[in-house]
Amino acid sequence: MSATVAVESENPLTAGLERLPVAPTTLVIFGATGDLARRKLLPALYNLAQDGALPERFHLVGVARRERQHQDYRAECEQAIRSFSRRKPDEDVLAQLLEHVRYAAGTFDDDTMYGQVGVLLDEFDERAGERLNRAYYLSTAPEFFATIIGRLGDSGLAHPPEAQVRVIIEKPFGSSLAEAEELNRRVLEVFDENRVFRIDHYLGKETVQNLMAFRFANGMFEPLWNRNYIDSVQITAAEDVGIGTRAGYYDRAGALRDLIQNHMLQLLCHVAMEPPVGFTAEEVRNEKVKVLQAIATPTPDAITHMAVRAQYARGHSGGEDVPGYTEEEGVPRDSHTETYAAVRLEVDNWRWAGVPFYVRTGKRLARKVTEIAVTLKPVPHLAFSQDGSLGVRPNQLVLTVQPNEGVSLQFGAKIPGTRMVIRPVNMEFLYGAAFLSQSPEAYERLLTDAMRGDPTLFTRNDEVEAQWRICDPIVAAWAASADPPPDYEAGSQGPAEAGSLLRPGDQWRAV
């Protein structure tokens, strides 16, 4: 079955947000020649320009270590946009965007570089005849975040007169609770919290935002959205690739810190949060923090029963033989870093008490998929048991975040014929088919919201620290263990040990 879409009156939850203006802005990207800037940020800016979503006066300053002329950096921007934009570039739009691009060179602890940036910002302001808003995007290695923030404060770039300044900080925000708390302290010494935008690109994905629409704009779901009707929730972020060229970062981070601590706990919050009083940044984030506060801090004794790690071994994936994790280039041969992590969490409040939330992520699994599967309790009496039935399975609502964004509802239906034979069927809604358009990239929405000053889809300081409070004890316990993680074959469903987290009768969905 497929869904059709009728356009009706605007949703009161989001009314007005899209009409907030994006004021004239200069965006400064620190780490402007890095992979994130090339593959995501620059193409996102171009797509916004083509949609007419950038402010009328928009300027870009790229900051990186190597010396370049302005025209050289413009050429690099053009190449990145042509290579990674989701659209074929319009030559006039591209030329107009690149006309307002400049470059400053220097290390992130170099006062001279911040002086160069200040000169470029002043030149843009003079040309516009007004003080433009400023947004500083920290697209660098995390060890430079505090340095850049401090130098922005010392140089006076953080608080120019008659302009609003925002700072956008990429993940990971610290590698432990202590680091996150210290980084928050140093950031908030320079910027007020309402000027800080800690980015989690999952929150910019259409399916994640649509989860709130499905829950709070449709009366059919809310009566069922509790422990009386929901049996379990399974959140999966599976990848079919290995670590690629990310060995230096990944071996320090591991699967738990790379995805579960940020992206996947955010998905859990969207599933479990209470309806906000209003669709404002503070109300939405208040409800998410309440969810995180309702998850108990794991104790050393509990960790062995609620968390599993593993590491991929050599196997067959994508039609070819692939090496194991410790055989990858740049990975120490004795590395104990997990490439698979699964945890069982419980949200201890009235709505969710007793409902397990199974959260897992892994590399070199059978396929790439990110999804949320909400399993309802089975029917109390199984009347359909004739031969030929595939069984009356519990209903499942599955929200697919990637690669094929959409929602499916699984329920039992009778197979045509003379006998009462039941099989599961799916009713599906796919974004591409329903709206006949390609979903915008997450960074397009997030960059616009940051320049607009709307922090709804960004994480707050107490939210980040609450996420680390849950994950930090698990990270510490695994780091202290002398035992290597169990392995699983590349291209498989993951380690058999993950089954130990499940209640009797539960099973992991196939990836």
Residue 9 and residue 44 in contact, taking contact as beta carbons nearer than 8 Å: no
The answer to whether the peptide bond before residue 403 is cis (omega within 30 degrees of 0) is yes
Predicted TM-score of the model (pTM) = 0.89
Q: In tens digits, what is the pLDDT along the chain, a chain of 511 residues?
A: 444 343 333 443 334 444 567 889 999 999 999 999 999 999 999 999 999 999 889 999 999 999 999 999 999 999 999 999 988 999 999 999 999 999 999 999 999 999 999 999 999 999 988 899 999 999 998 999 999 999 999 999 999 888 899 999 998 898 899 999 999 999 999 999 999 999 988 888 887 888 888 888 888 888 899 999 999 999 999 999 998 888 888 998 999 999 999 999 999 999 999 999 888 889 999 999 999 999 999 999 999 999 999 999 999 988 889 999 999 999 999 999 999 999 999 999 999 999 999 999 999 999 999 999 999 998 776 665 555 555 567 889 999 888 888 888 887 777 787 777 777 778 888 877 776 666 778 899 999 999 999 999 999 999 999 999 999 999 999 999 989 999 999 999 999 999 999 999 899 999 8
Structure tokens that stand for 62 in this block: 């790229």
E-only strand ranges, 211-332: 230-238, 307-313, 315-317, 320-322
Q: Measuring CA to CA, which residue among 237, 174, 241 is closest to residue 202?
A: 237
Residues carrying an active site annotation? 263
d(CA 458, CA 201): 9
Q: Calculate the alpha carbon distances from 82 to 69, 88, 97 in Å.
A: 20, 7, 13
How, if at all, do strands 133-138 and 25-30 pair? parallel
What tokens does 443 get?
A: 């960074």
**Going by C-beta distance under 8 Å and a sequence separation of 6 or more, which residues neighbour residue 468?**
174, 176, 177, 180, 261
